[in-house]
Structures are given as C-alpha cells and as structure tokens.
Amino acid sequence: METRRILRLHHEGKSLRFIASYLGISRNTVTKYLHSFRVCGIPYDELMKLSDNQLDELLNPPKRKISKKLEVLQKLFPVLEQRLKRPGMTKQKLWEEYRKEHPCGYSSTQFYHYYNIWKKVSSLSLHMTHQAGDKMFIDYTGQKMRIVNKKTGEKTPVEVFVAILGASQYTYVEARLSQKKEDFITCVENALHFFGGVPEAIVPDNLRSAVTTANRYEPVINETFKDFADHYQTVVYPTRIRKPKDKSLVENAVKIIYPRIFAPLDKKAFYDLESLNKAILEKLARHNEAVHTGKKLSRKDLFEQMEKHVLKPLPLIRYQMKDYAIGTVYKNCHVYLSKDKHYYSVPYYYVRMKVKIIYSQEQVDIYHKYHLIASHKRDHTPYQYTTVVEHLPEKHRQLLDITPEKLIDDADAIGPYTRQLIIKILEKGSYPEQSMRSCSGIIKLSKKAGIIRVENACRRAVKADQYSYTIVKTILERGMDRDIDQGKDISLPEHQNIRGKRNYK
C-alpha cells in the first residue's frame, strides 16, 4: 500500500521531503524506492497494475538507520538546550558532562557541529506562501450554532466546519451534528464539490477524525481519511502540533466568519440542518464576493481567475465510507462480519489465517497482507452466507450442487416410493442441509444395493410411516426388502431400537 502511494505521489510531482513527511518514512527510504523504480525499467502505468505484494517484492529495499551514537546525542539536545540557558553554563561544560556519561561519545568538535545543525533546523521559522491549487486548509470553529426542536424548544448545538483554499482564500462553511468521522469526511467532500476540484493537499488540524496519532514529525493519518484522500487523488498533510503559523490562514477565516455569518444568524431560529446550511450558504456567498480591503478583487474573483482551473478534476463517483474489521477464516472457508452478522467466502487456502475486512455500504473487500483475496456485494441479512463456489475445495463444491429438485429427480428415476420417501424427508426436516444429506445418502445406496432393492426398502419404510436414511439402510442390511418380493407382510417387526407410531403422535 505504501509502495503504491510513494509511486503515485512521485508521479504527481511531489518532492522527496513531502512524500517522506506525508507517509511517515525517511527520505532515504523514499529515495531507494524511487531508485528501484527507475532501475526496474517498468513504466508507471504498468507498475500500477501489479498487486501490492508484487510491488513490494519488486521495489522494497532494505532500510538504513542512523548510527546509534548520533541517535542518542540527538535525543539529548532538547534537554541540553534548556540547561544552556542557565547562568554560567557553556557548551564546553555541557560537552564535558556528556563525555562523563558517554565515554565513547563524540569529540567536542563533532559535538558542537551536530548541536549547531540541530539548533539551526529547530529554530527555522517557515514563511507560508500559498500556490494556486496547492492546499485546502480545514478546521472547526470554536463557537457552535444551534438548531431548535419545534415541539419542545430544546436547542441542540451543532459543529461548524470551515475550509479555505490557500491562494485565493475562497471559503466554504457547513454545519453538522458532530465532528465524528462520518460527518467530518462528508464536510470535506462537500467542500471539494463546492470548489469544483481537488487541491494537491488537504491540511487539517490534528482532529481525531483526521489524525489517529498527532506527532510533529510523523503524524499517523486516520485510515478512513487516508482512503478518502486516495479516492480523490490528494494527500493529507496535518499541521504541526504547537505551530500556530501552520494553520493561521484557516484561523483568520474563522475570525472573519464570526461577524459575517454567526452574528447575522444568531437571532434566527432554525429547526433542521438543511435550513441552517441554506442560510449559511447565502451569507457565505456575500463573504466570498466581498472585495478585499485595499484590493479590487474578491475571494471569488481570485478563485475563478487563478485557482479554479488548476484544481484537479473531481472523480466521477463520490467516496463511499469504509469501515475496517479483523477476522479469522473459518474451516468452512468463510469469514464473519460482526457488523451484519453475515458470512463471506474466502479461498480455502486461507483457512485459519487472519484477514482484514474493508467494507462500505455496498461492497465488502477482504485482504490478506495487503493482497485482495475476495470481493463481495454487501449483504445485511444476518446469519446467512455469501459464497463464491470457486472459493471452496472440490468436495465442498459437490455438496453445493445438491438441490431439493435434483434429489427428487434422482429419486423418481429409482421409483415412486423412493420419490415419496425423499419428499417426506425434505418436508419434515427442520434443518435443510441435514435433510438433503440424508436424501443424498438414500440415493447413493442404489449404487451398492441396486435400484430394485432400494425401491423395495423405501416402499417398506413408507408403509411403516418411517422416513429416514437409517431406516432404509437397516432394511437393506437385514435383507428385509426381499420379503416384499416373496409376498410376506411388509410391516416392520417389533424391535427395541425402532420406535412405533405412538412415538410420533
């Protein structure tokens, strides 16, 4: 999965630094993947047709790590920097204390060299410049709007989502019931459709719906949100924690939205989200069309002139929300999706293996180690099976070929009493699969004992009002079917292992 993303981002012209930061891997690793890509000589379009496993095997290089000694030293620098602020403390004294604790550590020259590099990098202040079509910044307002229950008058607070394009500052605003993943992704998607295109990157604050684990250097993106970004052929690039300049643009937008949208709507009552969002869009249009102070152009003018045409086109279909589950393939070659209490088939050679289930409203995809092994249309019917015949071993496929209609036809070929017995077993059986197995067993007896004997045995069982595979088999084993040919009484003899009619009243 990561290999495919590296190639796609590189193909879209992203820098090594960006790819490494976005995917949470080192630039050396990215460089090696791309070097392997160039060396292999396979065109990008052809590589994208390979499975994730095949891509990994082709391009995955061994990882390199920085030396342990330098890693230890770099971890000390934040603490050493604070100690250096104390009166009388110098770099020389810090180095001397460092060498006492680490006798095999760096010399003073190397110590100063690595410290100066770390200090220079950590103190950089990035000047934010925004290119057209590059980034869409997203966040929620601190204040909330409210919808009113018509009957009770109860007010329900709602979240307000804000999205803004970096270059033109063209803005989108929407109210939703929560900041949960479903509502959040819906807002982001609506923003993209409002702008009519897709930027190179989406820049969220470290919201839980967007970022699973916040980190200044390697944030972990929420899996569903990353999948959403892949669908729209863009990337998620979260702001750094405790770096307000990274999100200053959207925060300034929020400050402007308070007087232009919140204040005019504050005294009005809205009874549902639809009417509230309709009012928000009316005020938002005025905000986007207002001319900038000191400029002759509005946000909308700037958007249409410099940014609209450079956004990437929207995909033909909207994103379908996906959820994830982990399961084990059962011996019957199916995996259980607890959300629907439904079973889906998997190729039989994955039995007992752990698999990942990714499901949307309409589709269920099953993966084993990033390799798609099964795909089904989602069925919400509980306690039922969705089965692809090819997923089962040969002996199981034969069982699927057995149907009530086929059993009755086979019984009819043996004789009328066999047909009557088979129909009775199928009608009375409380568990269809077991009933069909019993019927199949009776029909197979004709291959050993012959059609005439089985028909006579079924006749004797029907006359005795006994309907089971065991009865027919017992009659054949004891030769009781031959009594019929000799004109003897066809009733079954009294026996302690055979129940009479009184047991079935």
Amino acid found at 130: H
DSSP 457: H
Distance, CA of 486 to CA of 48 (rounded, Å): 77
- Which pLDDT value is given to residue 104? 85
Joined tokens for residue 354:
């752990």
Dihedral pair phi/psi, residue 162, rounded to 5°: -130, 135
Cα–Cα distance measured from residue 305 to residue 307, given in angstroms and rounded to the nearest whole number: 6
Instruction: Locate 2 and state its tokens.
Output: 């990561």
CB-count burial class (<10 Å; 0-12, 13-18, 19+) for 233: middle
**CA nearest neighbour of 459 among 435, 482, 436:** 482
pLDDT of residue 471: 92
pLDDT attached to residue 505: 47
* Sequence-distant (≥ 6) Cβ neighbours of residue 426 within 8 angstroms: 404, 407, 408, 432, 435, 436, 439
The pair of structure tokens assigned to 56 is: 């990994």
Q: What is the pLDDT of residue 135?
A: 85
SS3 362: coil
The residues that bridge with 148 in the sheet, in sequence order, are 155
* Tens-digit pLDDT string for the chain (505 aa): 577 788 788 877 788 888 887 777 788 888 877 877 776 667 777 777 777 666 666 666 444 456 778 888 888 887 777 677 566 778 888 888 888 888 888 888 888 888 887 776 555 443 445 678 888 888 888 888 898 888 888 888 999 999 988 888 889 999 998 888 888 889 999 999 999 999 988 888 766 665 655 545 445 567 777 888 888 888 887 765 545 444 566 677 788 888 888 888 888 888 888 999 999 999 899 988 888 665 678 888 888 888 888 899 998 888 877 788 899 998 878 898 988 888 899 998 898 899 999 888 788 999 988 788 999 999 888 878 888 888 888 766 655 556 777 888 889 999 999 999 999 888 876 556 677 778 988 999 998 889 999 999 999 999 999 999 999 999 999 888 886 654 444 455 555 555 555 554 4
